[in-house]
Amino acid sequence: MIAGTLGGFLYWKVIGGLFDRTNVNLTPAGGKALNVLLVGSDSREGLTGAEDVTRFGSVAGNRADTIILAQLVPSEQRGVLLHFPRDLYVPVHAEGRQFQSKINSAYGYGPQSVIDTVGALTRLPINHYMEIDIRGFRAMVDAVGGIDVTNETSLYDSKLNFRLPKGTSHLDGNQALSFVRARYATPDGDFGRIKRQQQFIRAVMGKVGKPSVLGNPVRVNELARSFARNVRVDQYFQLDDLVKFALSVRRVGPDQLETFSVPGSIGSRGGASVVVMNPVEAEPIFQALRNAEDPKRVIPAAQAAP
């Protein structure tokens, strides 16, 4: 028993040492809701192979491809994902100053800028921060054995040279990247991409929650190590938080996960195409999340559509 306990402690200590951490200012978790800011960057760091350079291109700098605020309410076994369109035109908070720009530009000033920008816009406390790049996303998908997605129509993105037939397809890491990053696969552009990302996250939750993953020690080990190696977290995020987060996600389940996108419409600012937020429709969603309420109960059904 002593040897087993010591071995488990050392194992988790090793896993904890694999995390890449960033020092940021956050609001300590309290109450019944946990708010986690999830950021997917387009960083090509570590992608040096010729095949990867051909597939993803060689792009300088880093931008936030995806920004999601996840609110989990384990006691009610439900969760909410709030997507922020990458071109959403907002007050960006960076390095003690404020200026109007696309929300994805905040990432160029570091994680704290993204946290401050989302926090100021929604007036929601951010309890934890998680970030993953292209290489990490691919590794995570492969660690769970790939993901199945079902499409009502076929998809083709000319920029990524990505095709997906109608029906159910099994995606490996590279295919999953194209599925969630494609902006030209459907006429609705980034809004269509957001819907696919929401669909993909549901598929991931459904896959990870199965006994074939959580009940398989080898697969759990692969997933834990892959998560720790490829996800950047805040300095306060500990293994206990990882376990609580995983259990919360499992309790919520894909069927109890509600998805929203910050309401807005295509517009123009300074000659650039942007998404202009509709504050009348956005505020009830923000207010519901501030009160840890189900947004669908407090806003009209027409506004609840992603």
Give CA separation, 227 vs 16, 43, 92, 119, 222, in Å. 10, 17, 29, 25, 8
Say what the pTM is.
Answer: 0.81
Task: Provide the number of structural domains found in the chain.
Answer: 1
CA 153 to CA 160: how far, in whole Å? 18
**What range does the domain containing 193 cover?**
2-304
The whole-number pLDDT of residue 57 equals 60
Report which of 191, 234, 205, 208 is spatially closest to residue 83, judged by C-alpha positions.
191
Strand partners, 245: none
pLDDT of residue 302: 44
Q: What's the pLDDT at 111? A: 95
Q: Encoding tokens for residue 45? A: 């760091």
Whichever domain contains 245, its CATH number is: 3.40.630.190
260, 85 Cβ separation under 8 angstroms: no
pLDDT tens, residue order, the chain (306 aa): 454 444 454 455 566 677 789 999 999 988 889 999 999 887 666 566 666 655 666 566 677 889 999 998 888 888 899 999 999 999 999 989 999 999 999 999 999 999 999 999 999 999 999 998 888 888 888 888 899 999 888 988 888 888 999 999 999 988 998 888 888 877 777 788 888 888 888 888 777 777 777 677 777 777 777 778 888 999 988 766 666 666 666 666 666 778 899 999 999 998 899 999 999 999 999 999 999 999 988 776 545 444
